């Protein structure tokens, strides 16, 4: 669940940056309920993935200097134990009866 929370913070940070409503780092951190150090970690991560992020000292906000979008999708799916036959390398192989039932729907 920690990863989901981190992704949600990243999504919210991205939204504030897009709107140019972050404020200075301390205020930005308060908006996300995290430490200022974590804000710098988020900014560093965005730079690692080539986000054109800049800081405007006059308006005291982070912004993207060029078009940039970040799409974060999180999907959680619950499967009943007898539907799962094997989980290997992130791929789930389902019971053939379950697959047949799904295909016939």
Q: pLDDT tens, 21-79?
A: 999 999 999 999 999 999 999 999 999 999 999 999 999 999 999 999 998 877 777 77
**DSSP three-state, residue 71:** coil
For residues 19 and 60, membership in a common domain is answered with yes
87 domain-assigned: yes
For residues 81 and 105, membership in a common domain is answered with yes
69 domain-assigned: no
For residues 57 and 9, membership in a common domain is answered with yes
For residues 56 and 79, membership in a common domain is answered with no
Contact 10, 44 (CB under 8 A): no
For residues 12 and 51, membership in a common domain is answered with yes
This prediction has a pTM of 0.69
State the pLDDT at residue 1. Answer: 56
Q: How many residues does the chain have?
A: 105
pLDDT band at 4 (very low <50, low <70, confident <90, very high): confident
pLDDT of 91 above 80: no
pLDDT of 80 above 90: no
Structural domain of residue 83, as residue ranges?
75-105
The residue to which tokens 């799916």 are assigned? 77
Q: Find all residues with CB under 8 Å of 61, minimum gap 6, and list them.
A: 20, 21, 22, 23, 24, 55
């Amino acid at each position: 669940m920690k990863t989901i929370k981190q992704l949600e913070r990243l999504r919210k940070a991205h939204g504030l940056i897009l709107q140019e409503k972050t404020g200075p780092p301390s205020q930005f951190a308060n908006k996300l309920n995290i430490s200022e150090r974590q804000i710098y970690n988020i900014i560093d991560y965005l730079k690692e993935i080539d986000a054109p992020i800049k800081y405007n000292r006059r308006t005291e906000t982070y912004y993207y200097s060029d078009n940039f979008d970040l799409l974060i999708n999180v999907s959680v799916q619950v499967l009943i134990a007898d539907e799962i036959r094997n989980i290997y390398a992130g791929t789930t192989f389902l019971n053939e009866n379950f697959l047949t039932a799904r295909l016939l729907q």
